[in-house]
């Protein structure tokens, strides 16, 4: 998927998107190709599918919010206020790697503040440099494991860094509204194990099929798992 195709998808899926956001998405490809040649954060064979496999996949979380939390979606989508206004939400991206899903979401949600963390220094360096080049003042990067990040966040986002059983202890006590987790495959047993082990109400866990929104074979079996606080 090249940018022309992706721009069409953006305007179709997010009719409220403005030109400023579209321009930032356009800038992503040359930035990632340049940095990926120096520090491999996306597989060489996958870099040409940046917009489909990485950006669109990340934006599935934005679509989940648009459908399920329209008020929060609108608040985060609005242009950031001048000065030091309070963000619509504070979001922690755990194991961001080169900046996914955090950077695409930060473009889409300029009124939210994102903390992107990763324990691998070279990866977080790429995320920090790209966020800076894109002028994303709502992004803060940290070279650290999630467990060591202080404070609380409204939401936590992550893209399949590990099983839910292993993930939950990393973020215990760090979120007040929920977790949006990108995962693939059969997750029924994984969710059942997580809810039992950590005494989470199964009714607070939702799964949403990404291929119901983005009709492409790549998204078959891929989900947004939302765990409400």
Largest CA distance in the chain: 47
Judge whether 95 is annotated as a binding position.
Answer: yes
- Apex CA 54: angle with CA 108 and CA 229, to 5°? 60
C-alpha torsion 51→153→227→148, nearest 10: 90
Number of residues assigned to the chain: 229
Instruction: Please name the residue ranges forming H helices in the chain.
Output: 3-13, 19-38, 57-68, 70-77, 102-108, 121-133, 164-171, 188-197
Chain-centroid distance of CA 3 in Å reads: 19
Q: What is the DSSP string of 106-159?
A: HHH-TTEEEEEEES-HHHHHHHHHHHHHTT-TTEEEEES-GGG--S-EEEEEEE
Instruction: Say whether 189 counts as a known binding-site residue.
Output: no
State the Cα–Cα distance between residues 144 and 214, nearest whole angstrom.
33
Residue 79 assigned ligand-binding role: no
99 labelled binding-site residue:
no
The answer to the question of whether 146 is labelled as a binding residue is yes
**Which residues contribute to the annotated binding site for S-adenosyl-L-methionine?**
95, 100, 146-147, 159
**Which residues contribute to the annotated binding site?**
95, 100, 146-147, 159
């Amino acid at each position: 998927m090249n940018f022309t195709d992706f721009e069409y998808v953006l305007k179709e899926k997010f009719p409220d998107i403005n030109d400023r956001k579209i321009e930032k998405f356009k800038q992503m490809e040359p930035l990632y190709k340049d940095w990926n040649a120096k520090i491999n954060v996306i597989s060489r064979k996958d870099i040409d599918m940046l917009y489909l496999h990485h950006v669109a996949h990340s934006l599935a979380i934005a679509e989940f919010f648009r459908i399920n939390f329209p008020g929060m979606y609108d608040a985060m989508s609005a242009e950031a206020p001048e000065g030091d206004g309070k963000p619509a939400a504070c979001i922690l991206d755990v194991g961001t790697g080169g900046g996914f899903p955090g950077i695409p979401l930060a473009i889409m949600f300029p009124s939210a503040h994102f903390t992107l963390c990763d324990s691998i220094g070279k990866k977080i360096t790429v995320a920090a440099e790209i966020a800076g080049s894109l002028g994303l003042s709502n992004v803060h990067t940290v070279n650290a494991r999630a467990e060591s990040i202080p404070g609380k966040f409204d939401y936590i986002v992550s893209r399949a860094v590990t099983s839910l059983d292993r993930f939950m202890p990393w973020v215990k006590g760090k979120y007040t509204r929920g977790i949006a987790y990108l995962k693939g495959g059969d997750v029924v047993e994984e969710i059942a194990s997580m809810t039992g082990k950590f005494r989470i109400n199964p009714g607070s866990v939702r799964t949403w099929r990404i291929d119901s929104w983005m009709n492409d074979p790549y998204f078959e079996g891929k989900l947004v798992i939302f765990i409400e606080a």
